[in-house]
């Protein structure tokens, strides 16, 4: 579950980079709109990352991760049906909030659940999922667009 959550976050962002040309044509987006589509997620994600780690400590890592997954999934669905660039940017902002809730929770849960002997294997699985997302994201995005 932890590796899958990380995989989804990374694939989403990597697949989007491949989708920019058809996305701008379908939505009639300007270069500025596309820049906001790409950067709105990253700005919110980076801005809330430390805060969401503290929320996990306060309200429970699992609970924060489930809220993040719910936000990320719902906003991904909204982004898929966006009719104009503004709707897509708003959905990407909410996705950034969800992603910021997910990422620190996955690592924090991984460190607390696995003991000293299992932790290196768990970290390897988590890192492999991230790497697969970086490599597979553009491939998956290209397959979905074609």
| pLDDT digits 0-9 by tens, 82-113 | 999 999 999 999 999 999 999 999 988 998 99
- Whether the CB-CB separation of 38 and 79 falls below 8 Å is answered with no
Q: Give the model's confidence band at 17: pLDDT under 50 very low, under 70 low, under 90 confident, else very high.
A: confident
Asked whether residue 142 is domain-assigned, the answer is no
Count structural domains, the chain.
1
Asked whether residue 145 is domain-assigned, the answer is no
Asked whether residue 23 is domain-assigned, the answer is no
Asked whether residue 35 is domain-assigned, the answer is yes
Asked whether residue 34 is domain-assigned, the answer is yes
pTM equals: 0.90
Asked whether residue 14 is domain-assigned, the answer is no
Asked whether residue 1 is domain-assigned, the answer is no
**Where in the sequence is the domain holding 94, given as residue range(s)?**
30-136
Measured in degrees and rounded to the nearest 5, phi and psi for residue 114 equal -95, 140
Asked whether residue 88 is domain-assigned, the answer is yes
pLDDT at residue 72, rounded to an integer: 96
């Amino acid at each position: 579950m932890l590796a899958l959550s990380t995989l989804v976050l990374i694939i989403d962002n990597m697949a989007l980079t491949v989708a920019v040309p058809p996305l701008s044509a379908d939505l009639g987006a300007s270069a500025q709109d596309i820049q906001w589509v790409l950067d709105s997620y990253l700005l919110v994600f980076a801005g809330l990352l430390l805060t969401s780690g503290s929320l996990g400590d306060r309200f429970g890592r699992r609970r924060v991760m489930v809220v993040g997954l719910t936000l990320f999934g719902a906003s991904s669905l909204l982004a898929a049906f966006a009719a104009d660039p503004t709707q897509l940017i708003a959905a990407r902002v909410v996705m950034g909030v969800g992603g910021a809730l997910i990422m620190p929770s996955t690592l924090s849960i991984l460190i607390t659940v696995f003991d000293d002997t299992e932790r290196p294997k768990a970290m390897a699985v988590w890192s492999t999922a991230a790497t697969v997302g970086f490599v597979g994201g553009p491939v998956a995005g290209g397959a979905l667009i074609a």
